Each structure stands twice: as structure tokens, then as C-alpha cells.
Amino acid sequence: MREAKQDIAEFELNELETELAALGVQPFHARQLYRWVHNRGLEHFEGMTDLSQSLRVQLNQTFKFSTPQISARRISNDGTEKFLFTLADGKTIESVFIPDTPAMTFCISTQAGCAMRCRFCLTGQMGLTRHLTAGEIAGQVRVLVRELGLQNRRFNLVLMGMGEPLHNYDATMKSLRMIAAPEGLAITPRRVTLSTVGILPGLKRLASERWVPNLAVSLHATTDKVRHALIPTSRNQRLADLIDACREFPIKHRERITFEYVLLAGVNDTTADANRLATLLQDLRAKVNLIPLNEASGIPFSRPSNQQVNRFAQLVASSGLVVSVRKSRGRDIRAACGQLIIKDDCSTQPLNN
Ligand code: SF4
């Protein structure tokens, strides 16, 4: 029985060379092929004009494209654009393009849904549908770069969409190598930020990688009790161990680990919390990103007042830490942090709406 065709976009360059060699094709064609797929975002072999016609036919008989397809897009009043992607098996995910942060930024998903169940996050309420493949994670970037005409522009990439990247470790890291390849989009690690709740084994693995992205750790609490309540899957680990793992994480010269802290009124925004946060991070190369909650129906918390947010920020900053307050982007189209969720109001929007 003939084997099912494999998705050409699931191969790294060295894997593609091996695949071509097995077909009796000169491995140097892998670079041309990789460029068409990962840099130019082509989804058919016919257009690969620097490959011979017979090779294009052979490739078409052997491989397929399972590129995520944009099935809806919505633009916010502030220019943020949210994309609904449909995967080959019909599952859906969301990605966000933020045009001026100050560089352009793509926020992409690593899973359909998320198993972490953070109580302030709509994606967490969906639960995990499935992990994405490396080709699907990288595919969001390929397609967005092509659709927005950004092939020769610099942009940042944040793994902060749906999912916990370290819960889908191998596919996430493979996707980053694919995107970073010079024949692909050649994105350097300093332009990529991986955001995680801090799964300790994953964090330790990440620390030993050759290609290490910037790290953003979702802290959200200053005591184990509150953190375990907000992030139920963190119950088997202590804050102190997470901070130790961060202390050992390799940080490049002049860089810092970002600690994300969603501010929930009356839950984690007290003076005692601000002081504990400053103490927890005092000997780390850290910056704190405060995220006032994006309120939504179904989320059992409320956003602190602007006055309370400022007071909290000033208290933490007075300890010498670098502190920023995240400006909410794309709230009107539910593209802001913690608001990515597959619901009918996005999936029924026609393209370019
Ligand atoms: S905040 Fe991130 S890790 Fe937590 S449930 Fe939402 S997507 Fe998952």
C-alpha cells in the first residue's frame, strides 16, 4: 500500500536533504525547496521555477502541503489584526498581528486550546484540543508574512497565543529552528520571546538549547497559594523552585527575563504583593510586565482601577526593578492577552472584515 504523502513544511533543511537523497534527488535542491516553502510561503510545487519540471512532478507525487489557511481576519480600532486559521483537520487556532509595538509583532499559537487552565484566561477555559505540529506553528508565520507582504521587513515573534509552548516542547523548538534558518525567514533568537507558565523540566531543557529565545515567565502571584489557585497546573511546583530555575537560565548580555503579572483586583494587587514581588525578583536580571486584566464574561475576576495599577507599578519600581504596564491591544476584537478563544463571532466573519 502506498504511504500517505507527508507535509513538505514539516521538514527542517537537513531532514529535507535526507528525504530528497532517498528519492535519488541531489540534496542541494533542498535549499531551493526550503526557500520556496519557508521564505516565500509557496503552497504548490508548480511555482518553484528554479526546479526542473520533472522534479516538480516528482515532488508533487511524494509530498503535500498542509499549510494553515486563514479563514477569517478582523482588524481592531487600534490596528491590531486577529487571524483565525483553519488547520488541515478542521481544527482552528488564532494568531495576532500588532503593527506598532514599536516594531511589528506576531503573536502565534503553539496549541489548539490550552491545558494550563489559568483561571483568568479564556483560552484556558477551552481546554486543550491538540498540540500543533512544528509546520503548523511555523506555518502561521509563513502565511502572515506572505499575506502582509513582510518578507524583507524585520518583525518580532511572541509565543503568547493559544497554548503553553513548553507543553508542546519538541514541536515548538523545531518550529523556531525552521523560522530561524537562513533559507527560511532568518529570524534571530533576540527577536523571539517564548512565554511560559514555567514548566520546570521544560525550562531546564530550554536553558540547554543552542538556540535560546527571550524568556517571559507568567508569574501572576507572589505566594504559592494564590499561584496554585490562579494556575491550577502549577500545583506541583513551588514559586521558589521556579525563581531558582530562572536564576540559572542563560541570559544574554544586556537582556532580562520578563515576568508577566496579570493584575486582578483584590487578588494579587495589594501592597504586600508588590513588596513580595520586588523581593522575589531582587537578585534576578528581571523586568516586570504588569497586565491589568482584560475583563470578559466568564472570567471571575475584575480589573483593578488605573490608580491601583499605577500604585502597584510604582511600589515595584521603587525597588529598582524595571516595570512596564502592558497597553491592552485589540480588545474590541478579543485579540488581547488571555482573550483568544474560538467562538462563532470570529469564525463566521468573512475574510478582510
Ligand atoms: S494564560 Fe497562557 S498558559 Fe494560561 S491558559 Fe491561557 S494560554 Fe494557557
The per-residue pLDDT for 342 is 61
What atom of ligand 1 comes closest to residue 196's alpha carbon?
Answer: 3
* Mutation pick for ligand 1 pocket among 107, 110, 123 (CB with most ligand atoms within 8 Å): 123
Write the DSSP assignment of 156-224 as a string of letters: EEEE-SSS-GGGGHHHHHHHHHHHHSTTTT---GGGEEEEES--HHHHHHHHT-SS--EEEEE---SSH
Closest among 56, 49, 69 to 20, alpha carbons compared: 56
- Ligand 1 centroid–CA 263 distance in Å is 15
Please list the rounded mean pLDDT of every run of 10 residues in the chain (353 residues).
84 97 95 96 96 97 97 92 96 94 89 96 93 98 95 92 97 97 93 96 96 96 98 96 96 90 98 98 96 92 97 97 86 67 42 28
The per-residue pLDDT for 344 is 41
C-alpha cell at 81: 489584526
Does 114 qualify as catalytic in the annotation?
Answer: no
Catalytic residue among 107, 114, 246, 337: 337
Closest among 142, 133, 136, 140 to 181, alpha carbons compared: 142
- Ligand 1 centroid–CA 144 distance in Å is 22
In the chain, where does DSSP find H-type helix?
13-22, 29-34, 53-62, 122-126, 134-147, 169-180, 200-207, 224-230, 239-248, 271-280, 306-317, 344-347
CB atoms within 10 A of CB 98: 21
CATH of the structural domain 6-64, one choice from 2.60.40.10, 3.50.50.60, 1.10.150.530, 2.60.120.480: 1.10.150.530
The per-residue pLDDT for 3 is 65
Closest among 226, 238, 235, 244 to 281, alpha carbons compared: 244
Q: Residue 266 burial (CB < 10 Å; 0-12/13-18/19+)?
A: exposed
Q: Are 132 and 93 in contact (CB under 8 A)?
A: yes
CA distance 199 to 329: 27
- Ligand 1 centroid–CA 271 distance in Å is 26
The per-residue pLDDT for 252 is 82
CA distance 303 to 326: 13
Indicate the SS3 state at residue 119. coil
Does 337 qualify as catalytic in the annotation?
Answer: yes
Phi, psi of 98 (to 5 degrees): -115, 110
Residue nearest to atom 4 of ligand 1 (CA): 118
Catalytic residue among 19, 81, 94, 260: 94
Q: Which residues line ligand 1 (CB under 6 A)?
A: 114, 116-118, 121, 123-124, 162-164, 197, 338
What atom of ligand 1 comes closest to residue 121's alpha carbon?
Answer: 6
* Mutation pick for ligand 1 pocket among 95, 109, 118, 199 (CB with most ligand atoms within 8 Å): 118
The per-residue pLDDT for 254 is 80
CA distance 167 to 217: 14
C-alpha cell at 298: 466568564
CA distance 191 to 224: 32
Pseudo-torsion of CA 210, 216, 219, 220, nearest 10°? -160
| Full-model pTM | 0.92
- Check whether domain 69-347 has CATH 3.40.50.10420, yes or no: no
- Report the run of H or E that residue 244 belongs to, with start and end: helix 239-248
C-alpha cell at 312: 502597584
Specify the residue for cell string 518550529.
175
* Mutation pick for ligand 1 pocket among 93, 95, 109, 116 (CB with most ligand atoms within 8 Å): 116
Closest among 130, 43, 118, 134 to 93, alpha carbons compared: 130
- Ligand 1 centroid–CA 338 distance in Å is 7
C-alpha cell at 270: 495589594
CA distance 305 to 87: 40
Q: Label the pairing between strands 128-131 and 155-159.
A: unpaired
Q: Label the pairing between strands 286-292 and 104-107.
A: unpaired
Q: Could you tell me the residue ranges of all domains in the chain? A: 6-64, 69-347
- Ligand 1 centroid–CA 162 distance in Å is 7
C-alpha cell at 57: 512532478
What atom of ligand 1 comes closest to residue 122's alpha carbon?
Answer: 6
Q: Are 349 and 72 in contact (CB under 8 A)?
A: yes
CA distance 34 to 288: 38
CA distance 73 to 281: 39
